[in-house]
Amino acid sequence: MNGASGGPSRRTVLELSAAALAAAWLPRAPAFAADTSAAGTASAAPVPAGPRHGLSVFGDLKYSPDFKAFGYVDPTAPKGGRMIFMPPYWVYNQNPQTFNTLNSFVLKGDAPPRMELCFATLMERALDEPDAVYGAAAESVEILDGGNTVRFRLRDGLTFHDGSPLTADDVVFSVTILKEKGHPQITELTREVVSVTADDSKTVTMRFTGRQTRQLPQSLAQLPIFSKAWYATRDFGAATLEPPLGSGPYKVGRVEAGRVIEYERVADWWGRDLPVHRGTFNFDVIRVLFYRDRQVSFEALKKGDVTFREEFVARTWETGYDFPAARDGRVKKAALPDQRPAGAQGYFLNMRRPAFADPRTREAIGLCFDFEWTNKTLFYGLYQRTQSFFQNSPMMAEGEPSAAELALLEPHRAALPKEVFGPAITAPVSDGSGQDRKLLRRAAELLEAAGWKRQGGNLVDASGAPFTIEFLENDGATSRIVQPFIRNLKLIGITAAERIIDPVQYQRRQDTFDFDVVGARYSLSPTPGEEVRTFWTSAAARQDGSYNLAGIADPVVDALVATMINAPTREDMTNAGRALDRVLRAIRPWVPNWFRATYTVAYWDLFGGPPAPPAYGWPPETLWWFDAARAAAIGRPNG
C-alpha cells in the first residue's frame, strides 16, 4: 500500500511470518488479540480456566461464545462469480511476479500468493480487534500450566478435500514438519515449542519452553494444517507444481506456471458456516495473474483482464485513470481508510558489508535522498515521509523520551549514541530542489569523518578502493526515483548504479543477503509478537531468508525486542516499542521512504462488499462478493 514508487513487487513489500499469514492472510496482524481501550492501556487479564472459544493477549474478547459472524462482514453475502487480481501482499517464499512451485511454506522456490487459502487453521483472526483469534478447526482452546501448555479440541466432521478425516495427528504433523523444514520465519516462530502431541483423535496439546511470548498460542493456531498421510509419500521441503491436498475454503484449479493460478471454492467445505467464516470466501474462483511489467498489468485492468487492482503508483493514480471504462463508470476508483500500522518502508543498507559499517556513512547516504522533491515532482504530493519503524502506530517514538522509555534505555546508556536520549531522530527536510546543497555538504562532512577520502572526483577507503553502491531491483519501475538519488550520491563522490535482475534471482540474492541496497517495506501488527525477531535481532541477521535485511546485530535491540514482545500490558508494550524505535533510528540501517494511510483501489463494477474496511486488515478477495446485477448492468454477466 505504501509503495508509491510502483506496484507490489518483492522490492516494495515484505510481508511476514506465520503471524502475518494467520491474520486472515493479511500481513500486518500476528496472533494474540484483545478488545482494548482506545488509549491502548488494557492490561493482561488472567486467562479464565477451562476451554474457551477464543484467545486474546491484553484483555477480554469482543465476541461472545454464541456470536454468529464477525461484525465487519455481510453474513448473507452471495456465493458465486470470480475476482481476477494481482495480490498486493504476500508471505514466506511467495512471489507476485512469477512462480515455479506450489509449496508456499518453505524457503525453496517461488510460490504464488494465496496458496494459504487452501489450508484450514485451528483458529481465525478477527480483523476488528488488534490480535484476537476464534475457533475454526478447533472448537475450543485451553491455556494450562501458567501459559506453558495449550490444548486445542477439534470439531467434529473435519476433512481434507479428498474426504479423508482431519485429525489431531495431522495437526501434530503440521506443526512438527513446519518446525523442522518450514520457512525460516516459521522455524523462528516455533523455536520455543518443546512438543506437540495428540492425546486422542480430537485433542492436541502443545508444550513450550517457558521462554515464549504470550502470542505464541495464537500464532501456532493460525498455521496451516496439512495431511500427514499425503506427505508420507512426498518431500515436504521440495519445490513442486503438484497441487497439495488441502483442508481450507479453496483448492488449486487451473495452473500455468509463472502466468496464472486459479483457486476454486470448495462448495461443501466443512468450515463454510462457522461464525468465523460466515460471509467470507464468497467467490467461486479467485484468479491470480502474474506480470513482470507494471504497465502491462495496468493495461490488463483497462482491458478487463484484471478486475481488481490496488494501485501503488502515484502518477498512475492521478493521471492514468482516463480510459473509456473509467470515464463511463464501469471501472471505479476508491481511496479507503487504512488504520493498520504502516510499518517501515525504505532503502535498507546491508551493514554486513564493510562500506556500510560506520553509522556516519549510512547517515550521509540518507541525506542524499530528497523526499520533498520526490513527493512534489513524482508523487503529486500524495505521501508523507516515513520516520519510524512503527509508522502510523502508537509505538512510534516522538519528541523527548518519556520517563517509561528512559527507564528502559538508561541501563544501556553506555552502549547507545547520545541522540537516543534526545528528541526522536527524524529525516531531514530538504529545500525541495532535488539537490539541497546544505544537506549534501553535511553528507560530505560525515563521510570524511568516517574515513573516506577524495581521490579525484571519487571517494575511496583507506586501501584506495572506490566507494560504490548497487541498488538491486527486480523491475525498472522505480528508476525515476532511484536515478535522482544516484545523481546526488555522485555529487559527493559515491559511484552508484541501479541493477535490475529477474524476480527469481532477486529473491535468491535477497534471501542470502547478497546485495548492497534493496527497497522493502515491513508491515507490523498492532500487537507485535514472535515474528519481530526476524526483523531486527542478531540471530536473524545470520539467518538466510529472514527479514533482517540490514543485518542489525545489536544486543540492546535484542533486549528491547524481548521486552516488547513479552510486555505484561499494552502500555508496557507501547513504551518498549517506542524505546526500540529510538534505538533503531539511531543505528540508521535504512534511508526511510514514504507512506499513505489509505487503500487506493480500482475495480470493475462487479462487486459488493462491506461499507468500510475493518481496522486491522482488509482482504477484498475474501470479504467482497460477486454482484450479478452490477455485472449484468455493465455487460459482464460472467465477470
- Determine the pLDDT at residue 21: 29
The verdict on residue 430 lying in a domain is yes
Least confident piece of the model among 100-104, 112-116, 210-214, 318-322 = 210-214
- Determine the pLDDT at residue 562: 94
| Tens of pLDDT, residues 129-175 | 988 999 999 999 999 998 999 999 999 999 999 999 999 999 999 99
| Tens of pLDDT, residues 340-385 | 777 788 999 999 999 999 999 999 999 999 999 999 999 888 889 9
Of residues 319 and 337, which shows the higher confidence score? 319
CB neighbour class for 538 (10 Å; exposed up to 12, middle 13-18, buried from 19): middle
The verdict on residue 472 lying in a domain is yes
Looking at the structure of the chain, the number of domains it has is 1
- Determine the pLDDT at residue 615: 86
| Tens of pLDDT, residues 244-285 | 999 999 999 999 999 999 999 999 999 999 999 999 999 999
Check: CB of residue 29 under 8 Å from CB of residue 127. Answer: yes
Q: 536: which residues sit within 8 A by CB, 6+ positions away? A: 548, 552, 557, 561, 580, 584
| Tens of pLDDT, residues 570-612 | 999 999 999 999 999 999 999 999 988 778 899 999 999 988 8
Any long-range contacts for 108-115 (C-beta under 8 Å, 24+ apart)? Answer: 108/237, 108/238, 108/239, 109/239, 110/503, 110/504, 110/507, 112/261, 112/288, 112/290, 113/87, 113/89, 113/288, 114/25, 114/87, 114/250, 114/261, 114/263, 114/286, 114/288, 114/621, 115/252
- Determine the pLDDT at residue 135: 97
- Determine the pLDDT at residue 611: 82
Check: CB of residue 591 under 8 Å from CB of residue 365. Answer: yes
pLDDT bucket at 227, cuts 50 / 70 / 90: very high
Q: Is residue 316 scored above 80 in pLDDT?
A: yes
- Determine the pLDDT at residue 25: 26
pLDDT bucket at 37, cuts 50 / 70 / 90: very low
| Tens of pLDDT, residues 166-204 | 999 999 999 999 999 999 889 988 999 999 999 999 999
Single-letter amino acid code for the residue at 347: Y
pLDDT bucket at 5, cuts 50 / 70 / 90: very low
The verdict on residue 415 lying in a domain is yes
Residues written for the chain: 639
Q: Is residue 30 scored above 50 in pLDDT?
A: no
Report d(CA 429, CA 472) in Å as an integer. Answer: 26
Q: Is residue 7 scored above 50 in pLDDT?
A: no
pLDDT bucket at 40, cuts 50 / 70 / 90: very low
| Tens of pLDDT, residues 530-567 | 878 889 999 999 999 888 999 999 999 999 999 999 89
Least confident piece of the model among 314-318, 384-388, 486-490, 585-589 = 314-318
Beta strand 138-144 with 149-154 is antiparallel
| Residue reference for cell 461484525 | 71
- Determine the pLDDT at residue 450: 97
Q: DSSP E strands: which ranges in 102-174?
A: 123-125, 133-135, 138-144, 149-154
The verdict on residue 166 lying in a domain is no
The verdict on residue 380 lying in a domain is yes
- Determine the pLDDT at residue 47: 55
The verdict on residue 353 lying in a domain is yes
Q: Is residue 65 scored above 70 in pLDDT?
A: yes
The verdict on residue 490 lying in a domain is yes
The verdict on residue 436 lying in a domain is yes
Range of the domain at 524: 344-595
- Work out the percent of the chain whose per-residue pLDDT is above 70: 92
pLDDT bucket at 32, cuts 50 / 70 / 90: very low
CATH number at residue 549: 3.10.105.10
- Work out the percent of the chain whose per-residue pLDDT is above 90: 72
